[in-house]
Amino acid sequence: METEIKRKRVLSGIQPSGVFTLGNYIGAVRNWNELQDSCDCLFMVANMHTITVRQTPAVLRENTYRAFANLLAAGLDPQKSVLFVQSQVPAHTELCWILDCYTMFGELSRMTQFKDKSAKNADNINAGLFTYPVLMAADILLYGADAVPVGVDQKQHVELARDIANRFNGVYGNVFTVPEPLIAKTGAKIMSLSEPQYKMSKSDPNPNSFIAVSDTPDDILRKFKRAVTDSEATVKRGEGRHGINNLIEIYSIAAGTTPEETENRFDGKGYGEFKVACAEAVIEMLRPFREKTDDLMKNRDYLDGLFRQGAETASRIAERVLSKVCKKTGIIR
């Protein structure tokens, strides 16, 4: 009799904090598609994380719908994966408080993103900004996730979730699955077009630094033409050549080539021609995604139905873990 191989459980999410960038699409969501057939996947719109920075309520609601539509447009299938909105599963915040009591102040003080966000939001350094990695740990541990697809910059948060899980398990036994970070081999970190030594970010005040998936073809072409490169004018990767390394990475993913093939294809050609080719490849890659998102946003009733379906399924899974945690810690529910 053959032994059935247990499928890995995977969880990840995106914040509905406005612009959905090329970096989000290439570095995260597009890679999730490949996991759907081989793993048990849960993907969420992490709207509770977004309010660490002040939000306009109506805009946050609209962005939550759009982020969910983005997941669907990127190819995530509600029949294969559990797609849900974080705030519609209250177990996340309930487990977060319990895990706060098993997380050390020093651990949170070392989180690099807290330092970065504090510098950018000096007038609103709130407790949520400090403790949101614990909510992220709750997101992960609540579902018994074996693996968490993340960008390189988020690996530290998965490591914290592992530390919290091991600490809790050391006290109460084998309660939590200890997760592993899952970092894509290509496109894991798409860099800024204007400052290519830094990650492409939707919070960047310079709109020319990132490609938004909602950008028009003209916008995309203009931004690539302005992308920072260097004075060597050769389409070759190299140490310290952040700008051209980033463009080669983007083109290779959008055009379906390897970086080596990209270099060979543009051997002897200048940056001007290569930047236009990058723009054209990205425009074609994003076209069906943008069109499907727009269609979905016109059908709120359909999205609301998927919200309910996802929340119900996620809540059933989460309840099993949360009940066990409460029983172990003596919390009466």
What integer pLDDT is reported at residue 3 of this predicted model? 45
What integer pLDDT is reported at residue 204 of this predicted model? 77
What integer pLDDT is reported at residue 121 of this predicted model? 67
Q: Is the pLDDT of residue 2 over 50?
A: no
Which CATH topology does 207-294 take?
Answer: Tyrosyl-Transfer RNA Synthetase (1.10.240)
Let me know if the fold of 9-183+299-329 is the same as that of 207-294: no
What integer pLDDT is reported at residue 245 of this predicted model? 94
Q: Sheet holding 9-14: strands in order across?
A: 82-85, 40-45, 9-14, 147-149, 180-182
CB 329 within 8 Å of CB 101: no
Q: Is the pLDDT of residue 1 over 60?
A: no
Mean pLDDT of the chain: 90
Q: What pLDDT digit, counting tens, does each position of 118-138 carry?
A: 666 677 788 888 899 999 999
Task: For residue 187, name the pLDDT band (cuts at 50, 70, 90).
Answer: low
Which positions are annotated as active-site residues? 117, 199, 202
d(CA 179, CA 159): 8
What integer pLDDT is reported at residue 333 of this predicted model? 86
Which CATH topology does 9-183+299-329 take?
Answer: Rossmann fold (3.40.50)
Residue showing tokens 């990205």: 282
Percent of the chain with pLDDT over 90: 69
Q: Is the pLDDT of residue 151 over 80?
A: no
Would you say the C-alpha torsion 227, 229, 234, 237 has a positive or negative sign?
Answer: negative
Query: In the chain, what are the domain boundaries?
Result: 9-183+299-329, 207-294
Query: What is the pTM assigned to this prediction?
Result: 0.85
What integer pLDDT is reported at residue 198 of this predicted model? 87
Mean per-residue pLDDT for 311-330?
Answer: 97
- Name which of 116, 307, 291, 81 is nearest 203 in CA terms: 116
